[in-house]
Amino acid sequence: MAKSLFLSLELMYLLKWLIKHDKSRLRVLINHALKHGLGRQLHEYAVAPQRQPRNTDEMLNDTFLELLNFMESALMEGLENQKYDDKLYGKLSHALSHMNIDGVDEQTISESLNQAQHELKHVEQHAHRSASGADTKRVLTRKMLKNWKPTKDEPIN
């Protein structure tokens, strides 16, 4: 049990955020575990304590470290995806800044940006290349035209 415990700042913030903002989903996860085997296992240990593993301290330490390592790696993976999404969103924002969107409402713009980001991400993953500026503008323009619903009061050019 000489393993040391080291928590990254990001992991501490994640744990704090989960407790503050997602208690209900944590409860659902715990209840799910209890219904799918954990409850029975805990009951067996309560009824027959001699069946408990002899090295529970070591098992607890190993299990806790395994959970924290999993959370840390999932968090780092999520942060990498976030950086990728931010880069792609930056490309889309640049393309949007070169478009005339005077008659387009915020909801249409937001929806189009999200759809274009999703499509470009899918294309980049399958083509194994980064979307060019022309690709980005083309996809965003297509999404904007698809989502735009002009009102009758708007002049037609």
In a domain, residue 30? The reply is no
Residue 140: other Cβ atoms inside 10 A: 26
- Give the pLDDT score at 35: 95
Q: How far apart are the first and last CA of the chain?
A: 75
Summarised one tens digit per residue, pLDDT across range 2-45 is: 456 667 888 888 899 899 999 999 999 999 999 999 998 888 87
In a domain, residue 112? The reply is yes
pTM for this prediction: 0.51
Residue 62 φ/ψ, nearest 5 degrees: -65, -45
Structure tokens at 69: 């390592």
- Give the pLDDT score at 96: 85
Query: How many domains in the chain?
Result: 1
In a domain, residue 133? The reply is yes
**Rounded to whole angstroms, how far apart are CA atoms 120 and 67?**
34
Which one-letter DSSP state was computed for residue 129?
S
Residue 54 φ/ψ, nearest 5 degrees: -70, -35
In the chain, the amino acid numbered 60 is L
Summarised one tens digit per residue, pLDDT across range 88-110 is: 888 888 888 888 888 788 888 88
- Give the pLDDT score at 153: 67
In the chain, the amino acid numbered 12 is M
Question: Is the model's pLDDT at 1 over the cut of 50?
Answer: no
In a domain, residue 85? The reply is yes
In a domain, residue 89? The reply is yes
In a domain, residue 143? The reply is yes
In a domain, residue 139? The reply is yes
| Of residues 130, 137, 134, the one with CA closest to residue 93 | 137
- Domain carrying residue 106: 81-148
Alpha helix ranges (H) inside 5-55: 9-21, 23-33, 39-47
